[in-house]
């Protein structure tokens, strides 16, 4: 199953990796250029005094787009070429197959997002105090969780057979993802992060509703 998913998504994953890391690199270049032009002290003062997501703000919707893109690449062919029907005829547990498909996607996104975080951390660590780069990494955390949630909710929508239900699911997805973008105040989400993580974990089960309806032939 993992190999099948890898064959299907490898080029898309490479593109997602290049785009997300490219954006992170762009933010880091801006950061290093600002340090070079104005000096470290000036950047520290701006970061202490301003409650803004400095040097990560362009990343805001990148993880979300990455999650939606991966779900499209992974599950559109399943529906369009009716591969899902074949997959569901394999002599394996349907639930396990779904978890393996979603697990592959989630693991790929986690590797990609983890790499983004590693690049950000390595780039900012030499020039900033832990309090300051921690502030930037915390700002971006809900956005990356939104990326994971967007992947699972997109899978839920794409695997749904009925268009009316797809539109309903799309509205639910939009409102759910809105929760991840209510504030860009650094650290504002800290008390809420455990709830968001639980929400993302709970979303793993939603595609099962679509698959179950698909099995029943609801279109």
Partner 1 sequence: MRKLANIILGIIIALLVVWELPWLYNNYAVSFLHGDEIGGQPFTLYSGLADDFIQNTDGGQGRRGISGRDYTVEEADSLLPFFWTTQLVNAGRLPDTIRGYAVTPQLIRQTNINYHHRAYDSHSNRPNCGLWLLLESLPKRVNLEDPDDAFRFTEDGIEFVNMNTGKVKPKKSKLFTDALVKKGFAFPIHELDGNPDTRKEYDEGYLLIDNNRRMYHLKMTAGQPFVKKIDRVDETVVPKFIFVTEFRSRCLRGLMTDENNVLYVITPDYEVKPLGNDIHYDPTQSNMMIMGNMLDWTLRITTEEAEEFYAVSALDYSLLKTFIAPYRSNPYLPGLHFTETLDRWVKPRFN
Residues of this chain that interact with partner 1 (CB under 8 A) are 39-42, 44-45, 47-49, 51, 95, 126-129, 131-132, 134-135, 138, 172, 175-176, 179, 182-183, 185-192, 195, 199, 202, 205-206, 208-209, 212
* 132 vs 142: CA distance, rounded Å: 17
Give 7 or 49: the residue with its C-beta nearer to partner 1. 49
Give 23 or 144: the residue with its C-beta nearer to partner 1. 144
Give 148 or 206: the residue with its C-beta nearer to partner 1. 206
Min CB(82)–partner 1 separation in Å = 22
Min CB(15)–partner 1 separation in Å = 31
Min CB(203)–partner 1 separation in Å = 8
Give 75 or 189: the residue with its C-beta nearer to partner 1. 189
Q: Is the dihedral of CA 192, 196, 197, 198 positive or negative?
A: positive
Listed in sequence order, the residues at least 6 apart from 34 whose beta carbon sits closer than 8 Å to its beta carbon are: 43, 55
Min CB(84)–partner 1 separation in Å = 17
Min CB(207)–partner 1 separation in Å = 8
Give 117 or 192: the residue with its C-beta nearer to partner 1. 192
Give 87 or 127: the residue with its C-beta nearer to partner 1. 127
Min CB(34)–partner 1 separation in Å = 13
For residues 13 and 112, is the Cβ–Cβ distance under 8 A?
A: yes
């Amino acid at each position: 199953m993992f190999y099948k998913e890898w064959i299907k998504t490898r080029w898309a994953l490479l593109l997602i990796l290049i785009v997300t890391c490219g954006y992170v690199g762009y933010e880091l270049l801006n950061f290093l250029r600002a340090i070079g032009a104005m000096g470290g002290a000036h950047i520290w003062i701006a970061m202490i005094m301003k409650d803004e997501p400095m040097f990560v703000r362009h990343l805001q919707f990148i993880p979300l787009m990455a999650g939606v893109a991966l779900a499209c690449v992974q599950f559109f062919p399943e529906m369009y070429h009716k591969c899902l029907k074949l997959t569901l005829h394999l002599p394996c547990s349907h639930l396990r197959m779904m978890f393996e498909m979603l697990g592959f996607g989630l693991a790929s996104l986690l590797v990609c997002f983890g790499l983004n975080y590693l690049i950000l951390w390595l780039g900012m660590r030499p020039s900033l105090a832990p309090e300051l780069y921690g502030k930037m990494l915390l700002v971006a955390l809900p956005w990356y969780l939104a990326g994971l949630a967007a992947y699972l909710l997109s899978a839920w929508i794409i695997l749904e057979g009925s268009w009316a239900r797809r539109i309903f699911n799309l509205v639910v997805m939009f409102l759910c993802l809105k929760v991840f973008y209510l504030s860009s105040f650094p650290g504002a989400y800290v008390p809420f992060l455990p709830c968001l993580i639980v929400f993302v974990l709970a979303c793993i089960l939603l595609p099962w509703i679509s698959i179950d309806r698909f099995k029943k032939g609801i279109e």
